[in-house]
Amino acid sequence: MRLLAVLPAVLLLAAPCAAAPMLAIDGLPGGYTPGQPLTFDVLLTGAENLASYFIEIGLTLETGQPGTDAWFLEPGPPASRYVFFAHDTHFEAAVHTVAGQHILSLSGFNDPDDDHVLDGVDTVAGVNDRVATVTVQTLPSLTGAIYLTLAAGTLELDTPDKDAGGTPAPIVGFATLQADLAASPPAEVPVPEPATLALVAAGGLGAALARRRR
């Protein structure tokens, strides 16, 4: 009888915990070619009952001027795997430059019936985890690394629920996610080494010569 009494408690302790939410920049290339764009995804997985978001990405440069030598192109809602499934007008993107950073702001909310009542969704990896596909354009004269940061201080990931004062309640695990982002270093995209650029140029020259010989 004692064993049976203890067993439920053991099962309770062994129950799996829900995955913590994770916000990440995904798919960054190992380097970029000056004058060419680079593209990456902003992914949000493990968010429960998400109804709205506000996410800012900061771009800084090792050399050059953010917003002039490298800048964000304003994206539209993703063509697939969007966090709120429907590709509607509730997605917004804007860019601005301040204090040595070029900033992309992404926001959206889930009101599929346009009745001013937000619905919550759970974001699942590979299903509805994509917030946006982002492109950075660069000038041919850019020479240094590009740094990208997910801003912790302005982040908002809210549920449809509100407190007594009408303020939206954040998703479960938001405080931990915010602290993790604040402690994370920027993502770096280096410029290719001169030898790599030379190989690319040589390949292009070889293709051009081959065409001329034909």
Does the residue 27 lie in any domain? yes
Q: Which amino acid is at 95?
A: V
Does the residue 10 lie in any domain? no
Residue 22 φ then ψ, to 5°: -140, 130
Sign of CA dihedral 97, 155, 106, 94: negative
Does the residue 1 lie in any domain? no
Nearest of 128, 103, 115 to residue 50 by alpha carbon: 128
Q: How far apart are CA 44 and CA 106, in angstroms?
A: 13
Sign of CA dihedral 188, 192, 193, 194: negative
What mean pLDDT comes out for the span 45-62?
97
For residue 171, the model assigns a pLDDT of 98
CATH number, residue 197: 2.60.40.680
For residue 212, the model assigns a pLDDT of 52
Does the residue 7 lie in any domain? no
Does the residue 5 lie in any domain? no
Label residue 193 by pLDDT band (50, 70, 90).
low
Does the residue 8 lie in any domain? no
Please state, as a whole number, how many other Cβ atoms lie within 10 Å of the Cβ of residue 205. Answer: 10
Does the residue 189 lie in any domain? yes
Inter-CA distances, 198 with 37, 142, 193, 202, 207, Å: 19, 16, 9, 6, 14
pTM of the model: 0.82
Whether 42 and 153 have beta carbons less than 8 Å apart is answered as no
Counted domains in the chain = 1
Q: How far apart are CA 167 and CA 162, in angstroms?
A: 5
Instruction: Find the domain containing 89 and state its range.
Output: 16-213
Residues 136-192: tens digit of each pLDDT: 999 999 999 999 999 999 999 999 999 889 899 999 999 999 999 999 999 999 998
Whether 172 and 48 have beta carbons less than 8 Å apart is answered as yes
For residue 29, the model assigns a pLDDT of 95
Residues 71-119: tens digit of each pLDDT: 999 999 999 999 998 756 689 999 999 989 999 999 999 988 888 889 9
For residue 117, the model assigns a pLDDT of 84
Q: How far apart are CA 163 and CA 53, in angstroms?
A: 17
Does the residue 156 lie in any domain? yes
Kindly write down the DSSP assignment for every residue of 169-214, as one continuous string.
Answer: EEPTTHHHHHHHHHHSPPEEEPPPPHHHHHHHHHHHHHHHHHHHH-
